[in-house]
Amino acid sequence: MNRADTALADSPAGRELSRRLRACLGADCIIEEVESQRPFECDGLTLYRDLPRAVVLPETASQVQQVLQICDALDVPVVARGAGTGLCAGAMPHPEGVLLVMTKLDKIVEIDPLARTARVQPGVSNLSISEAAARYGLYYAPDPSSQIACSIGGNVSENSGGVHCLKYGLTVHNILSMKVMTVAGEELTLGSLGLDSPGYDLMALFTGSEGLLGVVTEVTVRLLPSPEVARVVMAAFDSITAAGDAVGAVIGAGIIPAGLEMMDRLAVQAAEDFAHAGYPRDAAAILLCEMDGTREEVAQHVDTVATLFQALGATAVTISRDEAHRALLWQGRKSAFPAVGRIAPDYYCMDGTIPRGQVTFVLNEIYRLSRQYGLPVANVFHAGDGNLHPLILFDASDPVQVRKVHEFGGDILDLSVRVGGCLTGEHGIGVEKLGRMTSQFSALELAQLEDIKHAFDPSLNLNPGKGIPILKRCQEYRALPDRHRHD
């Protein structure tokens, strides 16, 4: 069935679904017209697109519950979506289902400066939590590059990180509790405000589950005191090997930086042209290493790291002069993705994770693959924790390049697994990596993941065809290179 040509109400089942949704939400919160659904046809990974039966935008948790109950009663798939900044097609609509958009649930319910917590709805943007907490001298640590737009509900679903995850952890390390709705609309509270909660750690299970187990309706996050001072050491190297060795040397020296990022020449040049951050354009690679804490501690660590980089052959070392300069150095890194988008019609961002000791080997293998496929690649990634983000440059209007970019990306993922890493660090599996799950997991392990999915979603209607390769009638997507529809 081609949803581009078929309206929701063109069948008895569709009419009944439309009638119930309208009774629950009102017509203003439902989008059924095909052209109005176009903005929701994909997430940040535009290679994969589809249209749902209907887009719904509930305004309360009660409405979310009612939508889930309606869809459960009618055996209709549901895909939850936040801001749509994801990069694995995890929020791509299901052609037979309802797209449950959570952006209207965007209230910061409460900030408790004494407990250092914030209770927020899932549509609240990542950055707005820190902005609201700043008056109390607090902030929320996970900071994805898309933090100005990405929602906390999406961060929970993908277990997002960011440039400071090396020291402060991923989303799972920075949330205390959450409320979720099951596929049948039952509300569960997971985690607690205490140091531990009884029973199994279901909150950790839900974090990173990509909307396969339930729909997040509220999150209580941990807030941290804003550091007294933070400074960045930027080091330029004339080889990837030297930069890669320097990453391990920093950790080996007993220093855990707030962030330790690496960018290669193509990424550096693109970011510098875009942000004018003062990056050395002739460097083979640069490292951005941030230390934060007390003034004395930061001064000592900055001195140690700068000396270490110089001893390892850095061709230039720059230390941030003040807060404005520090922000500028990070602006270049956080602008790297849009900056690379200026030098090619399209780019494909991968998300493998590898052991730190394998950085040099893996990067050189990626360059070899780049030559093999004839596609340029810019590398910008969380070097401190081995989370790669190769950006493969291509032209999506060329079917040959589209095929090559899928094969190239798959080879990078297989390489990550082969050296002891994993398929994803923070972007998720979604549709994009579904076909690669067998390279990481055995048939028995996949069956165990399927059993967990069945336990929470026996009808298999929550985000079907994503994350875990489970077959369910026509509802299962196939992760194929041609799975991008522009009809």
CATH number at 371 reads 3.30.70.2740
Q: Are 89 and 470 in contact (CB under 8 A)?
A: no
Res. 455: pLDDT tops 80: yes
CATH number of 213's domain: 3.30.465.10
172 and 251 share a domain? no
> Whole-angstrom Cα distance, residue 307 to residue 481?
47
Per-residue pLDDT, averaged over 241-255, amounts to: 93
What is the pTM (predicted TM-score) of this model?
0.92
- Domain encompassing residue 44: 1-104+441-487
Q: Which of 69, 37, 64 is nearest to 53 (CA)?
A: 37
- Of 183-187, 298-302, 382-386, 478-482, least confident by mean pLDDT is 478-482
pLDDT surpasses 60 at 308 = yes
Note whether 243 and 290 are same-domain residues. Answer: yes
Domain contains 433: no
Q: What is the pLDDT of residue 9?
A: 53
Residue 481 — pLDDT band, cuts 50, 70, 90?
very low
Q: Is residue 117 within 8 Å of 191, Cβ to Cβ?
A: no
Confidence of residue 478 (pLDDT cuts 50, 70, 90): very low
Q: How many domains is the chain partitioned into structurally?
A: 4
User: What is residue 198's predicted lDDT score, i.e. its pLDDT?
Assistant: 81
Confirm whether 65 is domain-assigned. yes
% of the chain residues with pLDDT over 70: 94
Decide if pLDDT at 482 tops 50: no
Question: In the predicted model, what is the mean pLDDT of residues 349-373?
Answer: 95
Joined together, the tokens standing for residue 359 give 């950085």
Contacts of 77 (CB under 8 A, 6+ apart): 71, 94, 96, 97, 98, 461, 462, 463, 464, 475
Indicate whether 334 and 238 sit together in one domain. Answer: yes
